[in-house]
Amino acid sequence: MIFKKIFLFFFFFFQTDLFAFEEMQINFPDKSANEAPTQTYYYKGSNSKALLVYLPGGVGTQQLALNVFSLPFIDLSKKNNSKGHYDLVTFISAKPLESTVLDRNWYNATYQMRSDKDHILRVESVMNYYKQKTKLPIILFGHSNGGMSIEVVLNHLIKENKINLLNGILVSESKDTQIDAILSTLKKSEINLPIILLNHEKTRCYGVNFAYQQRQFEKFKEINKAQTSIITIQSGQDSSNQPCYSGYHMFYLAHKEVLEKVEFELDKIKF
Amino acid sequence: MFGLFSSRQKKIEQKLFSLANEIAGIQKNIILYPKENTYKDLHIDKTKELNNLYNDLEKIKNKDYVKNFIGQLTIKYKASENVLSKEEQKLLDKLLIEHKVKVKIKV
């Protein structure tokens, strides 16, 4: 019996990483709609400065949210790999958020799915829940198609006069159209939100033009009164698979560089 | 017929070059983040893939050819930025064995 206890102690002691997150189900805001709750994974930092709400790209569901890509961002909450000063919440969509038909209409169809009122309300409810739980400033982090979600949620929050819920944006490897739309909204509304652009210099994903986005951000930097940062990832490895699901676009094997640069730029933001 | 074989051989060799490079990158990440099991699992999967490709190449060519090819890969690896020191290599072996025991994979 005692050996069993000792074994269990060592087992749990060395497996602490397995228990480093909380799985939380957030109720859909309209209870009468009889919708499934939104699944989230919460990684708590120590003495956290802010909370990142991660909106995954692709279809926005579990497989994409919890793969190698997310590791450096999860590490922002872990004291052994970083300062651990940021909480992270991974948003798992209850419905697919990407068109499966890769044709001319792919963009419009995917954008429509990401603009769905249900999706916007789910993101808002997750932000509300974690704002109350952690009392931390919230940074929306959208990767790839997640940039579409940022755009629509940003517009929604401005329209509903709830922009105080949002304290910053981190957008990575999103399409040029999304970057233009986000920057245009921020310019028009004169909100002056801190914003970070994170791209790989060798990205091969369609619609993500590294040089173009750098230029747009450099221009925006001159007018935004809040912190505006551009992060360029140079390390990692390419893949022969679809360039919008693998390799440089997913910062594959660029863990250290992504973690260090993102933490450095986040630390510059004054909340 | 021979053209078909040589193009298949070329494809396998190209795959092996990129896979070996990928595994070297994964190894570096295991050393940097020793508690992260995702990289260890990835290493196991990619190594299996690599071994299958070596077997395929051996079927087309022969044992000596594969041995020479591995020699070429080793030279490339030693010149790459992902090369591990002797101490790191020892640590990597230890971490992978411990992980394989944990997930009950025969070493």
Domain ranges of chain B: 2-102
Interchain pair B38, A71: CB under 8 A:
yes
- Residues in A closer than 8 angstroms to B36, CB to CB, are 17, 71
- Touching check for B22 and chain A: CB below 8 Å? yes
Average pLDDT over residues A11-40: 77
- Touching check for B21 and chain A: CB below 8 Å? yes
Q: How many other CB atoms are there within 10 angstroms of residue A101's CB atom? A: 9
- Residues in B closer than 8 angstroms to A237, CB to CB, are 21-22, 25
pLDDT of residue A66: 67
Q: Where are the domains of chain A?
A: 24-268
- With H, G, I as helix, E, B as strand and everything else as coil, classify residue A85: coil
pLDDT level of residue A63 (50, 70, 90 thresholds): low
- Touching check for B5 and chain A: CB below 8 Å? no
Q: Which CATH topology does A24-268 take?
A: Rossmann fold (3.40.50)
Cα A123 from Cα A70, distance rounded (Å) = 18
Q: How many CA atoms lie within 13 A of A188 on its CB side?
A: 10
Q: What is the pTM of this model?
A: 0.90
Taking only the tens place, the pLDDT of each residue in A79-124 is 999 999 999 999 999 899 999 998 999 999 999 999 999 999 999 9
Taking only the tens place, the pLDDT of each residue in A121-171 is 999 999 999 999 999 999 999 999 999 999 999 999 999 999 999 999 999
- Touching check for A81 and chain B: CB below 8 Å? yes
Give A10's contacts (C-beta < 8 A, 6+ positions apart).
none
Shortest CA distance from A67: residue in chain B: B38
